[in-house]
Chains A and B, each alone.
Chain A
């Protein structure tokens, strides 16, 4: 084990002490779960680039901080000012812990239960952790999870409003904020959720979200990743869909120094559908990785994905998307599209679309493109009197327009439009 990265070693060294203070310490099943997570993590370490799934994302800046041992190297980059989202229901976590004072959860309709994971773990809520887990960040999260959103919606219950969950980090901290969210929608229920990750300082955020949709349930799941430009954000979301369940995920990523948004959808019931979309806007030396896996395990299911990225300066984008169609999962439709707009000669994107198909009666497509702004279109706009900077903005907005159009909730759409425009105005 001498070859562990320094950060992994520090995590392992402090586990015993930490676990005694983490929620659920008195609960045997929780301790066992943490222990299992730690053992898996110790065997895996933080992934390096020789691990196939990580070949485009280099974690050395996180795992081997050279300058100022024990602390992420400070860089005086300005934080993205938090643009609040006005909402009736908001659950707030500050530095990884639920803040009752800042949250507004009164008046949620009957049948919608929102609690903090710290409380739930104390009460013996059991989470699952597969023994052959290969995802190091999920393993790490399982060992060190401290809090998160535990949401359950009862059968047939519909929330007409939006539930906002804000994760705010403040200040420098080398070891991570390991949030674990558990979202369960019972049969025929429906909910709109907006996750907001914001912060200032140099920290490491490692949220894991487990979504389970029963038959006929629908979740509109929005995520804003606007972490501090010095922060690391390594997120994993796993969604499990029963018959006719409908899962819609849209992620807008503008923050973090290095981020990975990893999504797995397991379609387990017939006529269920999954739609994963997103936009990432990166500049400076930001790195943004989107990795998806869509598993069609049964027939008559469909999925789609559209991701669009705008990369300026030395920013680097990664899109890895895999559609996996199991044997006998006939009549499946799966589409995937990744497009990147490179605004600078030094910006780059790596794409790896993958289709793994073991059924024969399926319709799948994937495409990945990257390119620069259209010179002819720029000149056309300028020739009508529009200054170059505005012309560029118009074309970037146009590039993003159709993916932002997939944000079904009007208020979230306005919010995301505003954030994208704000990002553009800083160009």
Chain B
């Protein structure tokens, strides 16, 4: 599904990703852990097409296509979804308008009929109920004045609505209380299928109790320095990154 080969990227002339190699097959869940500043968010931004991140080498192939040639919205329409580490506040844009515009943009792209206001409301109500999110959030401007946890829940709601093929979760667990963590994990697990994959960036092994990964990678200083199965996460929690990266 996703094949990253020797990916190098820089921000403002500073190299952050220094040759990443990673292959994600359909249905697989990959966890990425690593110290602060290692380049985890950078990787997620490069994959979703954020401006200002210059790819200086390597390639990314997504479902047989050159991912790097696509604009961010095209990537989203092809099924890539990034749950932001820091979701963005957008004053003046009501959440409901935002969600409906996004969903219909993707439906239009796929040649499907756009949902009208009633159909959309029905769908979004289903999802908020499933995820235990209050409907009044829909009337508020996107993420404006949301608590840290509410912002993360909102990311999960968007994901549930857009049903992506490749989920990139950047520390979606940070800032969530225990119940919300389960809700978030539940959101991912509901979407799990043999065709869907996920890249889960986290600092805490606890999330991985709920979203059980097939592989765990350690990203340090712009490179994947170690990969293993879910037991690697436990080992990291015990010994820390220094010991692992050195090994």
Contacts and interface: CB of A to CB of B under 8 A. Distances in A.
A402 interface: yes
B63 interface: no
Contacts of B109: 385
B42 to A, nearest CB: 14
Nearest to B84: A380
Nearest to A394: B93
B105 interface: yes
A144 B50 CA distance: 59
Interface string A382-413: 11111110110011011101100000000000
Contacts of B89: 377
B158 A384 contact: yes
B105 A395 contact: no
A399 B73 CA distance: 22
B92 A379 contact: no
Contacts of B158: 384
Given A380-B87, A383-B48, A388 B71 contact: yes
Give the size range of A's interface with the partner.
Answer: 20 to 34
Residue among A375, A387, A390 with max Cβ neighbours from chain B (10 Å): A387
Contacts, number: 82
A379 B93 contact: no
Contacts of B49: 382-383
Given A383-B72, A384-B162, A398 B51 contact: no
Interface in B145-170: 158, 162
B4 interface: no
A386 B98 CA distance: 9
Contact of B77 (A374, A385, A394, A401): A385
B121 interface: no
10 contacts: A377-B89, A381-B98, A382-B72, A383-B72, A383-B84, A384-B105, A384-B158, A387-B71, A394-B93, A394-B97
Interface of A: 374-377, 379-388, 390-391, 394-395, 397-399, 401-402
Interface of B: 48-51, 71-73, 75-77, 81-82, 84, 87-93, 97-98, 101-103, 105-106, 109, 141-142, 158, 162
